[in-house]
Structure 1
Protein backbone atom coordinates (compact mmCIF):
# COMPACT_ATOMS: atom_id res chain seq x y z
CA UNK A 1 0.00 0.00 0.00
CA UNK A 2 1.48 3.36 -0.99
CA UNK A 3 0.86 6.77 0.58
CA UNK A 4 1.08 10.22 -1.01
CA UNK A 5 1.20 13.72 0.46
CA UNK A 6 -0.27 16.65 -1.48
CA UNK A 7 1.90 19.66 -0.68
CA UNK A 8 -0.37 22.25 -2.33
CA UNK A 9 -4.14 22.39 -1.84
CA UNK A 10 -6.24 25.58 -1.85
CA UNK A 11 -8.93 24.07 0.33
CA UNK A 12 -10.06 27.52 1.47
CA UNK A 13 -11.11 28.32 -2.11
CA UNK A 14 -14.82 29.01 -2.54
CA UNK A 15 -15.12 26.07 -4.95
CA UNK A 16 -14.67 23.74 -1.97
CA UNK A 17 -17.04 25.65 0.31
CA UNK A 18 -19.91 23.15 0.27
CA UNK A 19 -18.17 19.76 0.30
CA UNK A 20 -14.89 19.92 2.23
CA UNK A 21 -15.68 16.75 4.19
CA UNK A 22 -16.38 14.82 0.98
CA UNK A 23 -13.15 16.12 -0.58
CA UNK A 24 -11.16 14.98 2.44
CA UNK A 25 -12.76 11.55 2.47
CA UNK A 26 -12.11 11.05 -1.26
CA UNK A 27 -8.50 12.04 -0.69
CA UNK A 28 -8.12 9.50 2.08
CA UNK A 29 -9.64 6.81 -0.13
CA UNK A 30 -7.08 7.68 -2.83
CA UNK A 31 -4.09 7.03 -0.51
CA UNK A 32 -3.49 10.70 0.32
CA UNK A 33 -1.92 10.48 3.77
CA UNK A 34 -1.80 14.24 4.39
CA UNK A 35 -2.38 17.60 2.70
CA UNK A 36 -0.78 21.01 3.03
CA UNK A 37 -3.24 23.89 2.69
CA UNK A 38 -1.83 26.95 0.96
CA UNK A 39 -2.09 30.35 2.61
CA UNK A 40 -2.14 33.15 0.03
CA UNK A 41 -3.31 36.05 2.21
CA UNK A 42 -3.79 36.72 5.90
CA UNK A 43 -7.45 35.73 5.59
CA UNK A 44 -6.82 32.48 3.72
CA UNK A 45 -3.96 31.64 6.09
CA UNK A 46 -6.30 32.05 9.06
CA UNK A 47 -8.91 29.88 7.32
CA UNK A 48 -6.30 27.23 6.54
CA UNK A 49 -5.20 27.02 10.17
CA UNK A 50 -8.85 26.77 11.26
CA UNK A 51 -9.42 23.86 8.86
CA UNK A 52 -6.30 22.12 10.15
CA UNK A 53 -7.75 22.22 13.64
CA UNK A 54 -10.76 20.27 12.35
CA UNK A 55 -8.51 17.55 10.89
CA UNK A 56 -5.47 17.30 13.17
CA UNK A 57 -2.53 15.24 11.92
CA UNK A 58 -4.09 15.09 8.46
CA UNK A 59 -4.13 18.73 7.36
CA UNK A 60 -1.18 21.11 7.62
CA UNK A 61 -0.85 24.71 6.46
CA UNK A 62 1.40 27.36 5.03
CA UNK A 63 0.86 30.98 6.02
CA UNK A 64 1.83 33.89 3.83
CA UNK A 65 0.91 36.45 1.20
CA UNK A 66 0.92 35.59 -2.51
CA UNK A 67 2.72 38.02 -4.85
CA UNK A 68 -0.64 39.03 -6.33
CA UNK A 69 -1.55 40.41 -2.89
CA UNK A 70 1.90 41.75 -2.00
CA UNK A 71 0.54 45.29 -1.68
CA UNK A 72 -1.51 44.14 1.35
CA UNK A 73 1.55 43.10 3.36
CA UNK A 74 2.36 45.56 6.14
CA UNK A 75 3.86 45.32 9.63
CA UNK A 76 0.54 44.39 11.22
CA UNK A 77 -0.05 41.57 8.72
CA UNK A 78 3.51 40.31 9.26
CA UNK A 79 2.93 40.26 13.02
CA UNK A 80 -0.29 38.30 12.56
CA UNK A 81 1.38 35.86 10.16
CA UNK A 82 4.14 35.29 12.70
CA UNK A 83 1.55 34.56 15.38
CA UNK A 84 -0.14 32.07 13.03
CA UNK A 85 3.21 30.47 12.21
CA UNK A 86 3.53 29.37 15.83
CA UNK A 87 0.58 27.01 15.51
CA UNK A 88 1.82 23.41 15.36
CA UNK A 89 -0.04 22.73 12.10
CA UNK A 90 1.89 25.45 10.24
CA UNK A 91 4.85 24.00 8.35
CA UNK A 92 5.99 26.75 5.96
CA UNK A 93 5.89 30.46 5.14
CA UNK A 94 4.20 31.31 1.85
CA UNK A 95 2.89 31.22 -0.74
CA UNK A 96 5.36 33.98 -1.43
CA UNK A 97 7.56 34.87 -4.38
CA UNK A 98 7.34 36.89 -7.56
CA UNK A 99 4.84 36.96 -10.42
CA UNK A 100 5.79 39.38 -13.19
CA UNK A 101 3.18 37.97 -15.57
CA UNK A 102 0.17 39.90 -14.31
CA UNK A 103 1.66 42.30 -11.78
CA UNK A 104 -1.50 42.61 -9.68
CA UNK A 105 0.95 44.11 -7.19
CA UNK A 106 3.86 46.11 -8.56
CA UNK A 107 7.27 44.41 -8.93
CA UNK A 108 8.65 46.63 -6.16
CA UNK A 109 5.81 45.62 -3.81
CA UNK A 110 6.40 41.97 -4.65
CA UNK A 111 10.13 42.18 -3.99
CA UNK A 112 9.53 43.89 -0.64
CA UNK A 113 6.93 41.29 0.35
CA UNK A 114 9.25 38.44 -0.61
CA UNK A 115 12.11 39.89 1.43
CA UNK A 116 9.82 40.40 4.41
CA UNK A 117 8.60 36.82 4.23
CA UNK A 118 12.13 35.48 3.91
CA UNK A 119 12.87 37.25 7.20
CA UNK A 120 9.65 35.84 8.64
CA UNK A 121 10.70 32.32 7.63
CA UNK A 122 14.08 32.82 9.30
CA UNK A 123 12.48 34.11 12.49
CA UNK A 124 9.85 31.36 12.57
CA UNK A 125 12.45 28.72 11.59
CA UNK A 126 10.20 27.40 8.82
CA UNK A 127 10.86 26.63 5.14
CA UNK A 128 9.61 28.82 2.30
CA UNK A 129 6.76 27.90 -0.05
CA UNK A 130 7.68 29.75 -3.25
CA UNK A 131 5.87 30.99 -6.35
CA UNK A 132 7.65 32.05 -9.55
CA UNK A 133 6.14 33.22 -12.78
CA UNK A 134 8.31 35.02 -15.33
CA UNK A 135 10.59 36.24 -12.53
CA UNK A 136 13.21 33.53 -12.08
CA UNK A 137 16.41 35.57 -12.37
CA UNK A 138 15.18 38.26 -9.97
CA UNK A 139 13.90 35.71 -7.47
CA UNK A 140 17.09 33.63 -7.58
CA UNK A 141 19.19 36.75 -6.94
CA UNK A 142 17.03 37.63 -3.93
CA UNK A 143 17.14 34.12 -2.48
CA UNK A 144 20.82 33.39 -3.05
CA UNK A 145 22.23 35.32 -0.05
CA UNK A 146 19.74 33.65 2.28
CA UNK A 147 19.90 30.06 0.99
CA UNK A 148 22.22 28.76 3.70
CA UNK A 149 20.21 30.50 6.44
CA UNK A 150 16.81 29.02 5.59
CA UNK A 151 15.13 25.87 6.86
CA UNK A 152 14.66 24.86 3.23
CA UNK A 153 12.33 25.88 0.39
CA UNK A 154 10.12 24.40 -2.29
CA UNK A 155 9.45 25.94 -5.68
CA UNK A 156 5.73 25.22 -5.77
CA UNK A 157 4.07 24.31 -9.09
CA UNK A 158 7.27 24.35 -11.11
CA UNK A 159 6.65 25.09 -14.81
CA UNK A 160 9.97 26.66 -15.77
CA UNK A 161 12.75 25.68 -18.17
CA UNK A 162 15.93 23.70 -17.57
CA UNK A 163 17.95 26.75 -16.51
CA UNK A 164 15.31 27.65 -13.93
CA UNK A 165 15.17 24.09 -12.63
CA UNK A 166 18.90 23.85 -12.04
CA UNK A 167 19.08 27.37 -10.61
CA UNK A 168 16.58 26.41 -7.92
CA UNK A 169 18.23 23.04 -7.34
CA UNK A 170 21.58 24.80 -6.90
CA UNK A 171 19.99 26.84 -4.10
CA UNK A 172 18.93 23.62 -2.37
CA UNK A 173 15.24 23.98 -3.24
CA UNK A 174 12.78 21.15 -3.56
CA UNK A 175 10.62 21.08 -6.71
CA UNK A 176 6.83 20.71 -6.62
CA UNK A 177 5.22 19.01 -9.62
CA UNK A 178 1.51 19.40 -10.42
CA UNK A 179 -0.91 18.19 -13.09
CA UNK A 180 0.77 20.64 -15.47
CA UNK A 181 2.88 17.61 -16.35
CA UNK A 182 -0.29 15.94 -17.67
CA UNK A 183 -0.99 18.72 -20.18
CA UNK A 184 -0.13 17.63 -23.72
CA UNK A 185 -0.02 21.28 -24.85
CA UNK A 186 1.68 23.33 -22.15
CA UNK A 187 3.44 20.55 -20.27
CA UNK A 188 5.79 19.18 -22.92
CA UNK A 189 8.93 20.86 -21.57
CA UNK A 190 8.07 19.82 -18.03
CA UNK A 191 7.58 16.22 -19.15
CA UNK A 192 11.15 16.19 -20.43
CA UNK A 193 12.53 17.82 -17.26
CA UNK A 194 10.81 15.69 -14.62
CA UNK A 195 13.43 12.96 -14.90
CA UNK A 196 16.16 15.57 -14.22
CA UNK A 197 14.91 16.26 -10.68
CA UNK A 198 17.02 14.40 -8.09
CA UNK A 199 15.11 11.72 -6.18
CA UNK A 200 15.52 13.55 -2.88
CA UNK A 201 14.19 16.91 -4.16
CA UNK A 202 10.90 15.88 -5.80
CA UNK A 203 7.51 16.74 -4.25
CA UNK A 204 3.97 16.25 -5.60
CA UNK A 205 0.93 18.49 -5.48
CA UNK A 206 -2.41 19.17 -7.13
CA UNK A 207 -2.76 22.94 -6.54
CA UNK A 208 -6.47 22.08 -6.32
CA UNK A 209 -8.96 23.37 -7.37
CA UNK A 210 -6.65 24.68 -10.12
CA UNK A 211 -4.63 22.79 -12.75
CA UNK A 212 -7.04 19.91 -13.31
CA UNK A 213 -5.04 17.23 -15.20
CA UNK A 214 -6.21 17.33 -18.80
CA UNK A 215 -5.80 13.58 -19.31
CA UNK A 216 -7.95 12.29 -16.46
CA UNK A 217 -9.75 9.14 -17.61
CA UNK A 218 -13.05 10.48 -16.23
CA UNK A 219 -14.93 13.76 -16.02
CA UNK A 220 -14.12 15.65 -12.84
CA UNK A 221 -16.99 16.81 -10.67
CA UNK A 222 -17.64 20.52 -11.31
CA UNK A 223 -14.59 20.59 -13.58
CA UNK A 224 -12.55 21.04 -10.42
CA UNK A 225 -9.22 19.58 -9.42
CA UNK A 226 -9.01 17.95 -6.00
CA UNK A 227 -6.46 16.11 -3.87
CA UNK A 228 -7.79 12.65 -4.77
CA UNK A 229 -6.40 13.22 -8.28
CA UNK A 230 -2.83 13.32 -6.94
CA UNK A 231 -2.69 9.58 -7.55
CA UNK A 232 -3.16 10.24 -11.29
CA UNK A 233 -0.40 12.87 -11.27
CA UNK A 234 1.90 10.50 -9.39
CA UNK A 235 1.30 7.76 -11.96
CA UNK A 236 2.20 10.16 -14.77
CA UNK A 237 5.38 11.31 -13.02
CA UNK A 238 6.38 7.74 -12.20
CA UNK A 239 6.03 6.75 -15.86
CA UNK A 240 8.14 9.71 -16.98
CA UNK A 241 10.84 8.77 -14.44
CA UNK A 242 10.67 5.06 -15.34
CA UNK A 243 9.82 3.97 -11.81
CA UNK A 244 6.81 2.51 -10.02
CA UNK A 245 4.18 4.60 -8.28
CA UNK A 246 5.02 2.75 -5.07
CA UNK A 247 8.68 3.80 -5.26
CA UNK A 248 7.76 7.35 -6.23
CA UNK A 249 5.23 7.62 -3.41
CA UNK A 250 7.73 6.37 -0.84
CA UNK A 251 10.40 8.82 -2.01
CA UNK A 252 8.18 11.90 -2.28
CA UNK A 253 6.54 11.17 1.07
CA UNK A 254 9.97 10.91 2.69
CA UNK A 255 11.02 14.18 1.03
CA UNK A 256 7.85 15.96 2.19
CA UNK A 257 8.27 14.79 5.77
CA UNK A 258 11.91 15.88 5.73
CA UNK A 259 11.27 19.39 4.41
CA UNK A 260 8.19 20.20 6.44
CA UNK A 261 8.99 18.16 9.58
CA UNK A 262 5.68 16.29 9.56
Structure 2
Protein backbone atom coordinates (compact mmCIF):
# COMPACT_ATOMS: atom_id res chain seq x y z
CA UNK A 1 0.00 0.00 0.00
CA UNK A 2 1.22 3.45 -0.86
CA UNK A 3 1.13 6.58 1.26
CA UNK A 4 -2.33 8.05 1.92
CA UNK A 5 -3.62 11.37 3.15
CA UNK A 6 -4.06 9.77 6.57
CA UNK A 7 -0.52 8.42 6.63
CA UNK A 8 2.05 9.90 4.24
CA UNK A 9 4.59 7.20 5.09
CA UNK A 10 4.88 4.46 2.46
CA UNK A 11 4.05 0.98 3.71
CA UNK A 12 7.75 0.07 3.67
CA UNK A 13 8.46 2.86 6.18
CA UNK A 14 5.74 1.98 8.68
CA UNK A 15 8.07 0.43 11.22
CA UNK A 16 7.28 -0.69 14.74
CA UNK A 17 9.96 -0.88 17.39
CA UNK A 18 10.45 -4.29 19.03
CA UNK A 19 10.10 -2.54 22.41
CA UNK A 20 9.05 0.92 23.52
CA UNK A 21 11.48 3.58 22.33
CA UNK A 22 12.48 7.06 23.48
CA UNK A 23 13.43 9.65 20.86
CA UNK A 24 15.74 11.87 22.91
CA UNK A 25 16.05 14.56 20.21
CA UNK A 26 12.94 15.58 18.28
CA UNK A 27 12.65 19.14 16.97
CA UNK A 28 8.86 19.08 16.81
CA UNK A 29 8.63 22.84 17.28
CA UNK A 30 10.22 23.22 13.84
CA UNK A 31 7.97 25.02 11.35
CA UNK A 32 7.79 21.93 9.12
CA UNK A 33 5.63 20.22 11.76
CA UNK A 34 3.24 23.13 12.29
CA UNK A 35 0.41 21.73 10.17
CA UNK A 36 0.44 18.07 11.25
CA UNK A 37 2.23 17.77 14.58
CA UNK A 38 -0.57 15.73 16.17
CA UNK A 39 -0.49 13.24 13.30
CA UNK A 40 3.30 13.00 13.56
CA UNK A 41 3.02 12.16 17.26
CA UNK A 42 0.26 9.63 16.54
CA UNK A 43 2.50 7.90 13.96
CA UNK A 44 5.29 7.82 16.52
CA UNK A 45 3.00 6.02 18.95
CA UNK A 46 2.05 3.51 16.25
CA UNK A 47 5.77 2.88 15.70
CA UNK A 48 6.20 2.19 19.45
CA UNK A 49 8.09 5.46 19.96
CA UNK A 50 6.22 6.22 23.16
CA UNK A 51 8.32 9.01 24.66
CA UNK A 52 9.57 12.16 22.95
CA UNK A 53 12.10 14.68 24.25
CA UNK A 54 11.49 17.94 22.38
CA UNK A 55 14.63 19.99 21.85
CA UNK A 56 14.62 23.61 22.94
CA UNK A 57 17.36 25.39 20.99
CA UNK A 58 16.50 28.99 21.87
CA UNK A 59 14.03 30.78 24.12
CA UNK A 60 11.15 30.72 21.64
CA UNK A 61 11.46 27.03 20.83
CA UNK A 62 12.15 26.03 24.43
CA UNK A 63 8.96 27.78 25.54
CA UNK A 64 7.04 26.03 22.77
CA UNK A 65 8.52 22.67 23.75
CA UNK A 66 7.55 23.15 27.40
CA UNK A 67 4.02 24.11 26.39
CA UNK A 68 3.66 20.99 24.24
CA UNK A 69 5.03 18.87 27.08
CA UNK A 70 2.31 20.27 29.34
CA UNK A 71 -0.37 19.30 26.86
CA UNK A 72 0.76 15.89 25.56
CA UNK A 73 1.43 12.79 27.71
CA UNK A 74 4.80 11.19 27.05
CA UNK A 75 6.31 14.44 25.78
CA UNK A 76 9.08 16.30 27.64
CA UNK A 77 11.25 19.32 26.86
CA UNK A 78 14.79 20.60 27.03
CA UNK A 79 15.65 24.29 27.33
CA UNK A 80 18.86 25.90 26.18
CA UNK A 81 20.61 28.04 23.59
CA UNK A 82 22.25 26.31 20.62
CA UNK A 83 25.83 27.40 19.82
CA UNK A 84 24.60 28.88 16.53
CA UNK A 85 22.65 31.43 18.61
CA UNK A 86 25.30 31.95 21.29
CA UNK A 87 25.83 35.57 20.24
CA UNK A 88 22.38 36.33 21.70
CA UNK A 89 23.33 35.18 25.20
CA UNK A 90 22.61 37.79 27.85
CA UNK A 91 21.74 38.03 31.57
CA UNK A 92 18.08 38.42 30.58
CA UNK A 93 18.19 35.26 28.50
CA UNK A 94 19.97 33.42 31.31
CA UNK A 95 17.17 34.33 33.71
CA UNK A 96 14.53 33.21 31.22
CA UNK A 97 16.27 29.85 30.86
CA UNK A 98 16.59 29.55 34.63
CA UNK A 99 12.83 29.97 34.92
CA UNK A 100 12.18 27.28 32.30
CA UNK A 101 14.50 24.87 34.11
CA UNK A 102 12.26 25.07 37.18
CA UNK A 103 9.30 23.57 35.34
CA UNK A 104 8.73 19.83 35.70
CA UNK A 105 8.25 19.52 31.94
CA UNK A 106 11.90 20.50 31.40
CA UNK A 107 14.14 17.46 31.74
CA UNK A 108 17.52 18.84 30.58
CA UNK A 109 19.57 21.99 30.06
CA UNK A 110 20.27 22.42 26.36
CA UNK A 111 20.64 22.08 23.47
CA UNK A 112 23.88 23.88 24.20
CA UNK A 113 27.53 23.40 23.36
CA UNK A 114 30.12 24.19 20.72
CA UNK A 115 29.98 24.08 16.91
CA UNK A 116 33.28 25.11 15.31
CA UNK A 117 32.15 23.72 11.95
CA UNK A 118 29.92 26.61 10.94
CA UNK A 119 30.74 29.27 13.53
CA UNK A 120 27.45 31.13 13.11
CA UNK A 121 28.48 32.61 16.47
CA UNK A 122 32.18 33.11 17.12
CA UNK A 123 34.04 30.48 19.16
CA UNK A 124 34.44 33.01 21.98
CA UNK A 125 30.68 33.68 22.02
CA UNK A 126 29.96 29.97 21.98
CA UNK A 127 32.28 29.30 24.89
CA UNK A 128 30.77 32.13 26.90
CA UNK A 129 27.20 30.86 26.39
CA UNK A 130 28.18 27.25 27.04
CA UNK A 131 30.06 28.15 30.22
CA UNK A 132 26.98 30.00 31.45
CA UNK A 133 24.73 27.01 30.69
CA UNK A 134 27.13 24.66 32.45
CA UNK A 135 26.54 26.91 35.44
CA UNK A 136 22.77 26.64 34.99
CA UNK A 137 23.04 22.85 34.84
CA UNK A 138 25.06 22.82 38.07
CA UNK A 139 22.54 25.17 39.68
CA UNK A 140 19.43 23.26 38.60
CA UNK A 141 20.81 19.74 38.92
CA UNK A 142 19.34 18.88 35.51
CA UNK A 143 21.31 16.79 33.02
CA UNK A 144 22.94 18.44 30.01
CA UNK A 145 21.88 17.97 26.39
CA UNK A 146 25.01 18.84 24.41
CA UNK A 147 25.72 19.74 20.78
CA UNK A 148 29.31 19.39 19.57
CA UNK A 149 30.76 19.51 16.10
CA UNK A 150 34.43 19.88 15.22
CA UNK A 151 35.09 21.04 18.79
CA UNK A 152 35.76 17.80 20.63
CA UNK A 153 38.94 18.74 22.45
CA UNK A 154 37.70 22.13 23.61
CA UNK A 155 34.41 20.56 24.68
CA UNK A 156 36.24 17.97 26.76
CA UNK A 157 38.40 20.65 28.38
CA UNK A 158 35.36 22.69 29.40
CA UNK A 159 33.40 19.69 30.62
CA UNK A 160 36.35 18.39 32.61
CA UNK A 161 36.47 21.64 34.57
CA UNK A 162 32.77 21.29 35.45
CA UNK A 163 32.42 17.52 35.70
CA UNK A 164 32.19 17.38 39.49
CA UNK A 165 29.50 20.08 39.53
CA UNK A 166 27.08 18.81 36.87
CA UNK A 167 25.03 15.61 36.90
CA UNK A 168 24.61 13.54 33.75
CA UNK A 169 25.37 14.78 30.25
CA UNK A 170 24.70 13.43 26.76
CA UNK A 171 26.50 14.39 23.57
CA UNK A 172 23.53 14.23 21.25
CA UNK A 173 23.89 13.35 17.56
CA UNK A 174 27.47 12.19 18.03
CA UNK A 175 29.41 12.37 14.75
CA UNK A 176 33.03 12.45 15.93
CA UNK A 177 36.01 10.15 15.69
CA UNK A 178 37.18 7.36 18.01
CA UNK A 179 39.49 9.53 20.11
CA UNK A 180 36.72 12.04 20.78
CA UNK A 181 34.24 9.28 21.63
CA UNK A 182 36.56 7.71 24.15
CA UNK A 183 37.31 11.11 25.64
CA UNK A 184 33.60 11.57 26.30
CA UNK A 185 33.24 8.07 27.71
CA UNK A 186 36.19 8.72 30.02
CA UNK A 187 34.24 11.73 31.32
CA UNK A 188 31.30 9.41 32.05
CA UNK A 189 29.11 11.02 29.39
CA UNK A 190 26.24 9.46 27.47
CA UNK A 191 26.10 9.29 23.67
CA UNK A 192 23.13 9.90 21.39
CA UNK A 193 23.13 8.33 17.93
CA UNK A 194 21.02 9.41 14.94
CA UNK A 195 20.52 8.51 11.30
CA UNK A 196 24.00 9.92 10.61
CA UNK A 197 25.05 6.28 10.98
CA UNK A 198 22.89 5.49 7.93
CA UNK A 199 24.76 7.92 5.65
CA UNK A 200 27.43 6.12 3.64
CA UNK A 201 28.97 9.45 2.61
CA UNK A 202 29.89 10.75 6.05
CA UNK A 203 28.68 8.35 8.73
CA UNK A 204 30.50 5.19 7.71
CA UNK A 205 33.13 5.59 10.45
CA UNK A 206 30.42 5.50 13.12
CA UNK A 207 29.56 1.94 12.19
CA UNK A 208 32.96 0.86 13.49
CA UNK A 209 32.53 2.83 16.73
CA UNK A 210 29.05 1.88 17.93
CA UNK A 211 30.35 -1.26 19.62
CA UNK A 212 32.62 0.89 21.81
CA UNK A 213 29.65 2.57 23.50
CA UNK A 214 28.42 0.70 26.60
CA UNK A 215 24.71 -0.03 26.38
CA UNK A 216 24.08 1.86 29.62
CA UNK A 217 25.55 5.01 28.02
CA UNK A 218 23.77 4.79 24.64
CA UNK A 219 20.57 6.56 23.61
CA UNK A 220 18.83 6.96 20.25
CA UNK A 221 17.25 9.91 18.46
CA UNK A 222 16.02 11.18 15.13
CA UNK A 223 17.00 14.88 15.40
CA UNK A 224 13.99 15.31 13.14
CA UNK A 225 13.16 16.97 10.82
CA UNK A 226 16.88 16.75 10.02
CA UNK A 227 19.12 13.77 9.26
CA UNK A 228 16.65 11.56 7.42
CA UNK A 229 18.42 8.18 7.00
CA UNK A 230 19.74 7.85 3.47
CA UNK A 231 19.34 4.07 3.34
CA UNK A 232 15.61 3.82 4.05
CA UNK A 233 13.91 1.04 2.03
CA UNK A 234 11.56 3.51 0.31
CA UNK A 235 11.63 7.15 -0.74
CA UNK A 236 9.86 9.68 1.44
CA UNK A 237 8.18 12.62 -0.24
CA UNK A 238 9.53 15.90 1.08
CA UNK A 239 12.37 14.13 2.93
CA UNK A 240 11.21 15.35 6.34
CA UNK A 241 12.43 13.07 9.11
CA UNK A 242 10.04 12.15 11.94
CA UNK A 243 10.02 10.07 15.15
CA UNK A 244 8.11 7.18 13.55
CA UNK A 245 11.31 6.32 11.66
CA UNK A 246 13.37 5.84 14.85
CA UNK A 247 12.97 2.02 14.75
CA UNK A 248 14.96 1.99 11.51
CA UNK A 249 17.86 3.76 13.21
CA UNK A 250 17.68 1.28 16.10
CA UNK A 251 17.77 -1.59 13.59
CA UNK A 252 20.87 -0.13 11.94
CA UNK A 253 22.68 0.43 15.25
CA UNK A 254 21.85 -3.11 16.37
CA UNK A 255 23.18 -4.50 13.07
CA UNK A 256 26.51 -2.70 13.33
CA UNK A 257 26.88 -3.57 17.01
CA UNK A 258 26.02 -7.21 16.38
CA UNK A 259 23.34 -6.82 19.06
CA UNK A 260 19.79 -8.13 19.22
CA UNK A 261 17.45 -5.35 18.10
CA UNK A 262 14.95 -5.84 20.93
CA UNK A 263 17.74 -5.90 23.50
CA UNK A 264 19.10 -2.61 22.14
CA UNK A 265 15.63 -1.05 22.16
CA UNK A 266 14.98 -2.05 25.77
CA UNK A 267 18.43 -0.92 26.91
CA UNK A 268 18.35 2.50 25.25
CA UNK A 269 14.87 3.15 26.61
CA UNK A 270 15.91 2.19 30.13
CA UNK A 271 18.96 4.44 29.82
CA UNK A 272 16.86 7.37 28.58
CA UNK A 273 14.34 6.99 31.41
CA UNK A 274 17.14 6.92 33.94
CA UNK A 275 19.05 9.81 32.35
CA UNK A 276 16.04 12.15 32.07
CA UNK A 277 14.59 10.91 35.39
CA UNK A 278 11.32 10.09 33.74
CA UNK A 279 10.38 7.30 36.13
CA UNK A 280 10.32 9.76 39.02
CA UNK A 281 8.32 12.21 36.92
TM norm. shorter chain > 0.5: yes
Structure 1 counterpart of 2:44, from 10, 16, 27: 27
Number of equivalences = 261
Structure 1 counterpart of 2:102, from 72, 86, 91: 86
Provide the rounded CA distance (Å) in 1 between the counterparts of 2:151 and 2:258: 31
Tell me what 1:248 maps to.
264
Q: 1:195 offset after TM fit, Å?
A: 0.9
- Determine whether 1:13 maps to 2:34: no
Please give the per-residue CA displacement for 1:148-185, whole angstroms capped at 9, x wherever unaligned.
Answer: 22111000000000000000111111000000011111
Q: 1:53 offset after TM fit, Å?
A: 1.4
Provide the rounded CA distance (Å) in 2 between the counterparts of 1:235 and 1:17: 29
Tell me what 2:60 maps to.
43
Provide the rounded CA distance (Å) in 1 between the counterparts of 2:180 and 2:200: 21
Matched residue of 1:148: which SS? coil
Provide the rounded CA distance (Å) in 1 between the counterparts of 2:100 and 2:125: 22
Tell me what 2:196 maps to.
180
**TM-score in terms of structure 2 length:** 0.91
- Determine whether 1:229 maps to 2:240: no
Greater percentage in helix: 1
Tell me what 2:214 maps to.
198
Provide the rounded CA distance (Å) in 2 between the counterparts of 1:92 and 1:86: 10
Higher alpha-carbon Rg: 2
- Determine whether 1:211 maps to 2:227: yes
Q: 1:257 offset after TM fit, Å?
A: 0.9
Structure 1 residues not aligned, in runs of 5+:
none
Provide the rounded CA distance (Å) in 2 between the counterparts of 1:45 and 1:142: 24
- Determine whether 1:220 maps to 2:236: yes
Q: 1:221 offset after TM fit, Å?
A: 3.9
Give runs of ≥4 in structure 1 deviating > 4 Å.
Answer: none
**TM-score in terms of structure 1 length:** 0.98
Provide the rounded CA distance (Å) in 2 between the counterparts of 1:73 and 1:86: 19
Matched residue of 1:238: which SS? helix
RMSD between aligned residues: 0.8
Q: 1:222 offset after TM fit, Å?
A: 2.0
Tell me what 2:72 maps to.
55
- Determine whether 1:72 maps to 2:88: yes
Provide the rounded CA distance (Å) in 2 between the counterparts of 1:253 and 1:149: 26
Q: 1:22 offset after TM fit, Å?
A: 0.5
Matched residue of 1:215: which SS? coil
Tell me what 1:189 maps to.
205
Matched residue of 1:218: which SS? coil
Provide the rounded CA distance (Å) in 1 between the counterparts of 2:42 and 2:29: 16
Q: 1:51 offset after TM fit, Å?
A: 1.0
Tell me what 1:96 maps to.
112
Structure 2 counterpart of 1:143, from 159, 166, 172: 159
Q: 1:239 offset after TM fit, Å?
A: 0.9
